[in-house]
C-alpha cells in the first residue's frame, strides 16, 4: 500500500497519522481473517455432522456457533474501522471509482458483501435458538453459516490477500 497524497493524510491531536493506523488495521484485518475463515469452516462442518448424524444439540455445539458469530463480528468491526480510515474505503467512493474494478471492490463490493455474509451468520444463529428440534438447530447454523461463508469468500480481494 503506497502512502496517500498529502491532502488525504490527517493529523490527530495526539500527533498520530491516520495512514499509520490504516496500515495497522489493514494487517490486523488481513491476518484475523484467516482465523475467522478457519473457525467458520469448523462450525459449518461440526453443524453438518450434528445434523446428518442426528446428534443432540449440546452446550458445546452452541458455544462453537457462538464463537463463529463472535469472530465474524470482531472481523466486521476491524473492517468497518479500516473502511472509514483507509484511502481505499469511504474516501474513495466516487463515480470514477465505480469504473475501476479493483477500486470498486474495496470501496463498495467487499464491504457490502461482508456485511451481508455476517448478517446471514447472525440470522442463522438467532434462528437456531428458536428451533425446537436439535436437527433444526444444527440445520439453521449449517445452512446460514455456509451461505454467509460463500458470500464472504466471493468478495475477498484474493490478489492482495494471499
pLDDT digit string, tens, across residues 130-153? 999 999 999 999 999 999 999 999
**Residue 21 domain-assigned (yes or no):** no
Is residue 79 assigned to a domain?
A: yes
pTM: 0.83
Report DSSP letters for the chain, one per residue: -PPPPGGG--B-TTS-BHHHHHHHHHHHHHHHHHHHHHHHHHHHHHHHHHHHTT----HHHHHHHHHHHHHHHHHHHHHHHHHHHSTTTGGG-STTGGGSHHHHIIIIIHHHHHHHHHHHHHHHHHHHHH-SSHHHHHHHHHHHHHHHHHHHHHTS-HHHH-
Does 16 reside within a domain?
no
In tens, the pLDDT along 36-93 reads 999 999 999 999 999 999 999 999 999 999 999 999 999 999 999 989 888 888 888 8
- Number of domain units in the chain: 1
Range of the structural domain that residue 65 is part of: 34-161
Residue 24 lies in a domain: no
Asked if residue 25 belongs to a domain, the reply is no
Is 12 among the domain residues?
no
The answer to whether residue 39 sits within a structural domain is yes
| Residue 23 is assigned to a structural domain of this protein | no
Amino acid at each position: 500500500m503506497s502512502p496517500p497524497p498529502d491532502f488525504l493524510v490527517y493529523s490527530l491531536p495526539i500527533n498520530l497519522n491516520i495512514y499509520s493506523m490504516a496500515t495497522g488495521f489493514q494487517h490486523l484485518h488481513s491476518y484475523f481473517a484467516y482465523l475467522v475463515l478457519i473457525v467458520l469452516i469448523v462450525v459449518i462442518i461440526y453443524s453438518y455432522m450434528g445434523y446428518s448424524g442426528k446428534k443432540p444439540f449440546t452446550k458445546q455445539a452452541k458455544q462453537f456457533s457462538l464463537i463463529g458469530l463472535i469472530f465474524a463480528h470482531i472481523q466486521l468491526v476491524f473492517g468497518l474501522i479500516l473502511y472509514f480510515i483507509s484511502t481505499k474505503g469511504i474516501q474513495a467512493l466516487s463515480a470514477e471509482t465505480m469504473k475501476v474494478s479493483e477500486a470498486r471492490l474495496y470501496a463498495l463490493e467487499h464491504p457490502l458483501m461482508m456485511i451481508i455474509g455476517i448478517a446471514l451468520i447472525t440470522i442463522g444463529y438467532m434462528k437456531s435458538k428458536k428451533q425446537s428440534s436439535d436437527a433444526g438447530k444444527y440445520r439453521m447454523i449449517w445452512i446460514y453459516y455456509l451461505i454467509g461463508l460463500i458470500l464472504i469468500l466471493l468478495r475477498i480481494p484474493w490478489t492482495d490477500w494471499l
